[in-house]
Structure 1
């Protein structure tokens, strides 16, 4: 006999499909075929976060992956992260130029404020940017007031606009953390797309109280931090996993007559290290050598949704 009250087993949001109203149940195999640029069967979307890690994070409501670990001042981890913006990012830019790959750089407001030259160099190389929140210690969560969260959003967009001359219309939250109200507040601030949720392999329409957002798929599992740092796997395995994912997705696209997306996150302080960059190049080159692959960006993915 249960000692729990009956109310414990009652959940008002329980119904067929997802337990929210952002998007309906929609198995990927039931959707109409899409058309990628150059009629490719596999689209490759590469995202590069440019992050600022405060030396004295509050860690509220949690410490973001990569945050300082040892007692203040944790200069070992701080300078390692700073190396990414000073050195690793430029190593990735050079690699992308060699491969002819255009990436999306997710830029935090604090980076635009502290490293405006880096943001300009990214744009000069033909890459696009999106907003990535203020810094890694300014996390979005349901404990924030409306004014606090809107301040994070507008401050970030203003900082990026001051450097780039354009107000970004895309967003990835720091640590991909959100509160219940975050999507609606992004939409209210003229954000067209975000990539915090990992619920699909294709773009989906995301309904909020403030209008429609495009939810762009960005894999957690092929994130360099996840594989190389969190799972502590060797770089060779990352390259193999990227190749295997490309093989599977291409085969799936051919069988179902509908393109697929391969999405990768590469952090400058992780993938931009000299002993990793060769394997990063091998993994990306192995995908790009395939005739049915096309590099895509947010605009291409928004076009799939006619947004």
Structure 2
């Protein structure tokens, strides 16, 4: 039986993508970007500070690194808590030794419960971005929009209140979203999101057509493939293998940035993993490698976004 002609009549069929979320472009075809001070590679070091509830609901799925044993899973709960009690302070010391200003992605519930930790992070210096409420409150398709709207609002406003700083960025727990998440982020003043990892440079993500949108959100890709929890906890590679993979990724992007124009190297770290006594030396080796290149501009994610936007405006002005 032959198909009707209208079967192939697809209004979004075009070169590139069949959606309006962001424009199609090849990275190699984009205008080269130069970062401040003439640097070619921007480096964003992200520290994820997380709270995993002991009585997790696991809706709609069990979050990676969450509780896995029958309740009460105190073994895994206390290991995650280690990062916020002990590991983070080793990580901060390593960052300071290499003059690195990080970005702190922090669960709002953790920030509210640990004012002493927030104060220590503020003393170190860096940018706070919202990391949802906790690691058991996921954003997903099927979550009523009223519930997600309250969750986003509570997460952003709590982190702003506790830190006393503006919150411009967002990292979803488990990097998971619903179809409403980006609109809700924009409505709460969020300028950039780190959930999508399909690029090596920032890009503007437009809100869905027909939605009530407060504006666009820029995607700041925070690499999954080289983050510590993905390599060591999910792929089950050794910490030494993690060091090699991070160095390889950094070296490749550095070379590519010098040949083709600016690139973004983004590394996500979890203090309960790399803050362990047997792993902290691996983190120090990675940070020494990253900070030892003259072509690198290291900054928090918001500063990198500002520099990217400025470069885009300059490029548009030059073509007029």
TM range (shorter): over 0.9
Aligned CA-pair RMSD: 2.2
Q: 1:73 to 1:33 in 2, by over 3 A?
A: same
**For residue 127 of structure 2, what is the aligned residue in structure 1?**
128
TM-score between both structures, scaled by the size of structure 1: 0.94
- What is the CA-CA distance between 1:31 and the residue it aligns to? 0.8
Residue of structure 1 in register with 2:317 after alignment: none
The change in CA–CA distance for 1:30 and 1:117 in structure 2 (over 3 A counts) is: same
SS class of match (1:43):
strand
In the alignment, what sits opposite 1:276? 279
Query: CA offsets per residue over residues 198-224 of structure 1, 9 Å max, x none?
Result: 111000011114111111011010110
Secondary structure class of the residue paired with 1:305 = helix
Tell me how far apart the structure 2 counterparts of residues 160 and 63 of structure 1 sit (CA, whole Å).
24
Matched-pair contact (CA < 8 Å) for 2:243–2:286 = yes
Spell out, residue by residue over 1:63-112, the C-alpha distance to the aligned partner (whole angstroms, 9 max, x if none). 11111000000000000001110011111111111111011000111111
Partners of 1:72 and 1:16 in 2: CA distance: 51
Moved more, 43-52 or 17-26: 17-26
Residues of 2 paired with 1:136 and 1:10: CA distance? Answer: 43
Deviation at 1:239, TM superposition (A): 1.3
Q: Distance in 2 between matches of 1:7 and 1:231?
A: 45
- Alignment partner, residue 154 of structure 2: 155
**2:46 counterpart of 1:47:** yes
Q: Deviating runs (4+, > 6 A) in structure 1?
A: 6-12
1:299 aligns with 2:302: yes
Going from structure 1 to structure 2, the CA distance change for 1:167 and 1:300 (only over 3 Å counts) comes to: closer
Listed as ranges, the gaps of 5+ residues in structure 1 are none
Q: State the Cα distance separating 1:197 from its structure 2 match.
A: 0.5
Question: What is the deviation of 1:245?
Answer: 1.3
Looking at structure 1, the residues matched to 73 and 129 of structure 2 have their Cα atoms a distance apart, in angstroms, of 29
Rounded Cα–Cα distance in structure 2 between residues aligned with 1:9 and 1:198: 31
- Out of 246, 250, 253, which is 1:246 matched to? 250
- What is residue 116 of structure 1 aligned with on the other side? 115
User: What TM-score results when the alignment is normalised by the length of structure 2?
Assistant: 0.90
The CA deviation at 1:24 is 1.2
- State the partner residue of 1:265: 268
In 2: Cα distance, 1:300 partner to 1:162 partner: 21
Whole-angstrom CA distance in 2 between matches of 1:262 and 1:106: 17
Count of residue pairs brought into register by the alignment: 305
Q: Is the 8 A contact 1:120 1:163 kept in 2?
A: no
* Residues 33 and 40, structure 2, Cα contact 8 Å, conserved in 1: no
Residue pairs, 1:167-178, within 5 angstroms: 167-178=166-177
Aligned partner of residue 96 in structure 1, secondary structure:
helix
Query: Shift of residue 296 of structure 1?
Result: 2.2
Equivalent residues in 2 for 1:1-307, closer than 5 Å: 15-208=14-207, 209=211, 210=213, 211-256=215-260, 258-303=261-306, 304-306=308-310
Aligned partners of 1:39, 1:275: CA distance in 2, in Å? Answer: 37
- Distance across 2 between alignment mates of 1:228 and 1:141: 26
Q: Which residue pairs with 2:318 in the alignment?
A: none
SS of residue paired to 2:48: strand
Residue 18 of structure 1, CA deviation: 2.5
- Superposed CA offset, 1:96-130 (max 9, x none): 11111011000111111111211121111111110
Q: Tell me if the contact between 1:158 and 1:167 (Cα under 8 Å) persists in the aligned partners.
A: no
